[in-house]
Amino acid sequence: MECHVGVIAGDGIGPEIVAEARKVLNKIGEKYGHTFRYEDILMGGCSIDATGVPLTDEAIAAAKAADAVLMGSIGGNTTTSPWYKLAPELRPEAGLLKLRKSLNLFANLRPAYLYEELKEACPLRGDIIGDGFDMMIMRELTGGLYFGARETKEVDGVLTAVDTLTYNEKEIRRIAKRGFDIAMKRKKKVTSVDKANVLDSSRLWRKIVEEVAKDYPQVVLEHMLVDNCAMQLVKDPGQFDVILTENMFGDILSDEASMVTGSIGMLSSASLNDTKFGLYEPSGGSAPDIAGKGIANPIATILSAAMMLRYTFDLDKEADAVEQAVRQVLRGGYRTIDIMPQEEEKRLTVKQVGTREMGDLICANI
Ligand code: IPM
Ligand code: MG
């Protein structure tokens, strides 16, 4: 198979971690007879430096023309980087939001699970972890507060800011369907998260999700208020299978869920539209403090590439091979600094490696 992959290396640790994911894809190509053709696309701070804007029309066109886009991370230190002195619509993050909207990437899949091999990195007590957890956060990605009208103006001499939270039934229905489809391939449980005790948009969300649920009689649906969900994620994470939620709640809950696994450097994500196209990126940020040091964990990006093989190219066997290789390397005791055990004696049982070495080890296990 010939795969045309747009590559947004981005800022901070982005270029380093993306390089390892490309290495892994090339290894897959060699072993299974596929060709990966890469096309570099500028987005984020590096695009601002080169073009003055975080995402050009040419970059959008290049992303659209690719089968899928693999992304590292964008953005810098928000207090010290000059990018954050620019108007909000010219900052690195605006590029990402524009790309999501332009490509209609409404379905954001963020798996969060506990690696057996990394149990000691989980900040929760053993009795809470129990047999571990494995959830998929399905976040609506092109609506809600992120894309509603906003302005800051003086009202009767008082500076006032407005952000608008809008959802229509079509937007809710399409993400809900995706959530139920994914649940059908998992443990068949959907927890729809909203704030229906306060917000109209959440009441509509609940109504439409219930309508969609009628087409999926095998899936158990429950509703949960977002504040309670934030609590349940640290109280009993094992209760969740698919968490289905709107854009802003999903942003917050997915960070919480990934931190609970203790290994944000391990978690992948996919942003999908109605076609086979997808934007694949690690859940973690650009970590400017460790950029260029060769110590960043490339596993989340490598696992994002595995999601790309699975969702865009339907190469399940190849995706399994990547995931299996990651587990193998962890089982072999190799760790990047972020997933090193805290306790001194446990550190002696594993070996710390850098970004490149981790990529090489994963390739060697494919
Ligand atoms: C994320 C990030 C983005 C978001 C930022 C960078 C705009 O936090 O992908 O979760 O809020 O969606
Ligand atoms: Mg976020």
Ligand nearest to the CA of 54: 1
Burial of 177 (0-12, 13-18, 19+ CB in 10 A): middle
- The H or E element that residue 245 is part of is strand 242-245
The pLDDT-based confidence of 55 (bands split at 50, 70, 90) is very high
Across the range 300-314, mean pLDDT stands at: 97
Whether residue 96 has its Cβ less than 6 Å from ligand 1: yes
Q: Which SS3 state, helix, strand or coil, does residue 17 take?
A: helix
The pLDDT-based confidence of 341 (bands split at 50, 70, 90) is confident
Could you tell me which residue, 54 or 341, shows the higher pLDDT? 54
Residues with catalytic roles? 146, 195, 227, 251, 255
pLDDT, residue 265, reads: 84
Q: What φ, ψ does residue 294 adopt, rounded to 5°?
A: 70, 25
Q: Is the pLDDT of residue 75 over 80?
A: yes
Across the range 341-346, mean pLDDT stands at: 85
Q: Is the pLDDT of residue 175 over 80?
A: yes
Whether residue 251 has its Cβ less than 6 Å from ligand 1: yes
27 Cα–ligand 1 center, Å: 30
Across the range 18-33, mean pLDDT stands at: 98
Q: Is the dihedral of CA 76, 79, 83, 87 positive or negative?
A: positive
Q: What φ, ψ does residue 127 adopt, rounded to 5°?
A: -70, -20
Q: Which SS3 state, helix, strand or coil, does residue 168 take?
A: coil
Whether residue 140 has its Cβ less than 6 Å from ligand 1: no
Angstrom CA distances, 41 to 44, 57, 66, stand at: 10, 11, 10
Q: What φ, ψ does residue 191 adopt, rounded to 5°?
A: -105, 110
Across the range 68-81, mean pLDDT stands at: 97
* 97 Cα nearest atom in ligand 1: 7
Across the range 308-326, mean pLDDT stands at: 97
pLDDT, residue 343, reads: 83
Q: Is the pLDDT of residue 52 over 90?
A: yes
Q: Which SS3 state, helix, strand or coil, does residue 99 take?
A: helix
Place of tokens 């900040």: 123
Q: Is the pLDDT of residue 360 over 90?
A: yes
CB within 8 Å of 173: residues ≥ 6 apart: 208, 211, 212
Q: Is the pLDDT of residue 263 over 80?
A: no
Across the range 130-137, mean pLDDT stands at: 94
**Mean of the per-residue pLDDT values of the chain:** 96
pLDDT, residue 284, reads: 83
pLDDT, residue 40, reads: 98
Domains along the chain with CATH numbers: 1-110+261-366 (3.40.718.10), 123-259 (3.40.718.10)
265 Cα–ligand 1 center, Å: 16
